[in-house]
Amino acid sequence: MTPTLYWKDGFVEMLDQTRLPTAVVYQTCKDADTVARGIKELWVRGAPAIGVAAAMGMALGAQGLPEGREFQQGLERIGAMLISQRPTAVNLAWAVRRMQAFARSLEGQPVAAVKAAMVAESQRMLEEDAAICRAIGKAGAHLLPDGGVLTHCNAGALATGGYGTALGVIRAAVEAGRALAVFADETRPVLQGARLTAWELMQDGIDVTLITDNMAAHTMKCGRIHAVVVGADRIAKNGDAANKIGTYGVAILAREHGIPFYVAAPLSTVDFSMASGAEIPIEERDGREITHVFGTTQIAPDGCKTFNPAFDVTPAKYIRAIITERGAVAPADLHRLQDPDLDATPWLVK
């Protein structure tokens, strides 16, 4: 398994995912600014992995801060800087706030101890995330029948602390003996499906076939897709789910072909403060992502206008179930997962 990011000698080693699949290169992040750059420039991407990266960025940034009031103020400043890198994934702000609250909870302890504890806490978040992904996989594996499964973008080990959300469900189903043929949308413009999902599944020996995004409808019509499972960057309280651009279209196509559409995500991706997906901010990125593949191969005329939204929102009505570490639920039941003391859960999607 190629780790997405890890601590080494007091610094954060971050897999530069923009170089995959033809090169495995790590960037050494010695400060929070470099982590921020990695988030902005997509060395690391995927809502859960961005959250872990931000936590590590907070811990890195803490190392250079002085004692006293300036310590908490510094964490505020670094957190705001990290959060400003990308607007859509809620895990980014969630992780920053968790690290800030953690540091506040240690107030009064020697600053060196707080700094060391923050490093350990960010490492714990990485491990927690991988464990949550395994729980998501377990909660969703039974939903995938033998046959074709379509996924969009990369919600895999590379997008998380390990194992993956959507790909976690796929991995768990394969581990449970299911015979799956995965179809991966290439996911333009940044090609996370071609570069990351295909690569990750091939490394695990899971059967995967790459298609361009616009082939999904025809592949469904050919009867080769029996379920769709994707990740999410932010889910509103009503179950509307923001995910990589193109997800909304896939959801419509799935419904038109009578194919169940699942969203797999940790509860940290659910923003219970947002009533619906209409409130989720959608990041627009530089049009050069569209006009130049990998920033170099020009595919469009000079000066061509573009529209480059990085995400879209899939309304809850298209989603059969949201698969979380606490079980798979219909979007209408998502709010029930706020209750920390679940016991009877007759509403779980079996």
Show which residues are catalytic: 233
Range in contact with a copy of itself (rule: CB under 8 A) among 99-107, 132-140, 166-174, 207-215: 207-215
Which positions from 168 through 197 interact with a copy of itself, judged by CB under 8 A?
A: 183, 185-189, 191, 194-195
Q: Does 322 bind a copy of itself (CB under 8 A)?
A: no
313-to-59, 205, 217, 230, 320 alpha-carbon distances in Å: 32, 32, 19, 12, 15
Among 101, 258, 273, 305, binds a copy of itself (CB under 8 A): 305
Paired residues of 29 in beta bridges: 12
Q: Does 238 bind a copy of itself (CB under 8 A)?
A: no
Yes or no: say if 243 and 185 are a contact pair by the CB < 8 Å rule.
no
The secondary element (H helix, E strand) that includes residue 293 is strand 292-293
Among 72, 100, 123, 209, binds a copy of itself (CB under 8 A): 209
Question: d(Cα 32, Cα 64) in Å, to the nearest integer?
Answer: 10
Among 258, 303, 340, 346, binds a copy of itself (CB under 8 A): 303
Residues 6 or more apart from 259 whose CB is under 8 A from it?
A: 220, 225, 226, 227, 228
Strands 234-236, 270-271: pairing is parallel
Q: Does 296 bind a copy of itself (CB under 8 A)?
A: yes
Give the three-class secondary structure for 47: helix
**Which residue's CB is nearer to a copy of itself, number 18 or number 324?**
18
Among 21, 145, 147, 260, binds a copy of itself (CB under 8 A): 21
Question: d(Cα 1, Cα 8) in Å, to the nearest integer?
Answer: 17
**Which residue's CB is nearer to a copy of itself, number 307 or number 343?**
307
CB atoms within 10 A of CB 177: 8
Range in contact with a copy of itself (rule: CB under 8 A) among 102-110, 233-241, 293-301, 333-341: 293-301
Query: What mask of x and - would describe binding to a copy of itself in positions 22 to 61, judged by CB under 8 A?
Result: x---------------------------------------
Among 106, 293, 330, 348, binds a copy of itself (CB under 8 A): 293
Phi and psi angles of residue 274, each rounded to the nearest 5 degrees, phi first? -105, 120
Among 24, 112, 113, 202, binds a copy of itself (CB under 8 A): 202
Yes or no: say if 152 and 159 are a contact pair by the CB < 8 Å rule.
no
Q: Does 268 bind a copy of itself (CB under 8 A)?
A: no
Residues 6 or more apart from 6 whose CB is under 8 A from it?
A: 12, 13, 126
Paired residues of 297 in beta bridges: 293
Min dist CB 266 to a copy of itself, Å, is 24
Residues at the contact surface with a copy of itself, assessed by CB under 8 A: 21-22, 152, 183, 185-189, 191, 194-195, 198-199, 202, 207-219, 221, 224, 245-246, 248-250, 252-253, 256, 282, 287, 290-291, 293-294, 296-309, 312
